[in-house]
Amino acid sequence: YGLFPAVARPMKGTVVVLTGRNECIEKYFETIRNLADRGFGVATLDWRGQGGSDRLISDRERGYVRSFFDYTGDLEQFFEEIVLPDCRGPYYILAHSAGAVITLLAAPSMVNRVRRMVLIAPFLAVPDLPVSTTTVRRLCSLFCLLGLGKLYAAWGPRPRRTIPFAANMVTSDPERYRRNTLIYETYPQLALGGPTIRWLKAAAEASEAISDPDFMARIQVPLLVIAAGADQVVSTKAVETYTRRLRLGSLLVIDGARHEILQEADFYREQFFAAFNAFIPGSDDTS
């Protein structure tokens, strides 16, 4: 995990930054600096099985977890042992993709801890998937029963050569893309290949759990959900539909932005931070 102090005054609390699948703390240094310049301390961690954290199976490139509730347990431990005793309140969460799903899964228990949450492109569904999330979960469950849960569900091992910028689906900014790929080229131990069948099953189960109406009624922390208009990784339509069902949820779609909005071109990042500043109490329009 990492703790980063605010560098501006007055100090406005702590933002807990929760990354997506196959991301690491180092990828968020620019965003951490942006938040510190706004007077926020930052607390963040590498989820179990990725980044600098221990792997859960022998092949360290395979993205694997048994259940997303393991992640929420990690988040609970992080709050109890690190954030609450060592970080200045009030507390906010900024989460991306799979990290946003973990945040939603943990949201009912965060009502007396976290003041507001900003979720970027939650991984609720894959765009244009020909089958439902329920079908994905059932198929993955069958494969897991057959002992195939540790096989890749998609993409396979990490490419030995970096995917060319023109072929990437996550950002339109070549400099930030190169910066992020250089992290994994220099420190390959931080990177993952594709997700396993077990990980995909866990993700589908989490998506179903957080979409249950009774569960959604228990989410009492105000949410700002930000979707990427040109997202090719998660379904923006699913994000829009989900957010409209939330009692305390607001939605912003940034037209033209790709999946990793915080790694996007300044034009899109500035729209994100304008929304962040308007939603998080005490923010102002700086850096």
Give the whole-angstrom CA distance, residue 49 versus residue 242. Answer: 28
189, burial (CB in 10 Å: exposed 0-12, middle 13-18, buried 19+)? exposed
Nearest to 239 by CA among 132, 116, 131, 126: 126
Residue 219 has pLDDT above 60, yes or no: yes
pLDDT at 284: 56
pLDDT digits (tens, 9 = 90+) for 136-179: 999 999 999 999 999 999 889 999 899 999 999 999 999 999 99
Asked if pLDDT for residue 193 goes beyond 60, the answer is yes
CB-count exposure of residue 247 (10 Å: 0-12, 13-18, 19+): exposed
DSSP bridge pairs for 40: 13
DSSP string computed for 231-272: -SSS-HHHHHHHHHT-TTEEEEEETT--S-GGGS-HHHHHHH
* Euclidean distance between CA atoms 284 and 282, whole angstroms: 7
H or E segment to which residue 40 belongs: strand 40-45
pLDDT at 283 over 70: no
Q: What is the DSSP letter of 46?
A: P
CB 113 within 8 A of CB 79: yes
How would CATH label the architecture of 2-56+71-126+159-190+214-279?
3-Layer(aba) Sandwich (3.40)
Tens digit of each residue's pLDDT (9 = 90 or more) over 68-123? 999 999 999 999 999 999 999 999 999 999 999 999 999 999 999 999 999 999 99
Structural domain boundaries in the chain: 2-56+71-126+159-190+214-279
